[in-house]
Amino acid sequence: MPPTNNHINYIEFKATNLEATKSFYSNAFGWKFTDYGDSYVAFETSGLDGGFTITDQPITNGALVVLYHNNLEEIKEKLIQLGATISVDVFSFPGGKRFQFLDPSGNELAIWSE
């Protein structure tokens, strides 16, 4: 099924050790993983696809909810008009582009597109 605008499409967590994280979730729940370099690993077979990104910072808000939208510039401008702050500007990754924003309460989310 193709992604739908404004629906939660992916969830991303922070991790301090990707190998230990993969081992834990693989053994605990049977999740399957795909490595994307040394700092990112995607997971599937969890009910909702997602990934883990490496960090050396203390993890205080470990999940990044990722939404889909087919027009990044349009939704980015709308969010800014509504009071969001862009925390990570648009960047490319294997499979698409995305950006991250803070809502008015400080929650960080991301939006991606092909």
pTM score > 0.85 for this model?
no
Task: Indicate if the pLDDT at residue 61 is higher than 80.
Answer: no
Please classify residue 30 by burial: count the beta carbons closer than 10 Å to its beta carbon, then call 0-12 exposed, 13-18 middle and 19+ buried: exposed
Over residues 23-56, the pLDDT tens digits come to 989 988 899 999 999 999 999 998 899 999 999 9
| pLDDT value of position 63 | 87
| pLDDT value of position 3 | 85
Q: What are phi and psi of 76, to 5 degrees?
A: -60, -50
How far separated are the first and last CA of the chain, in Å rounded? 15
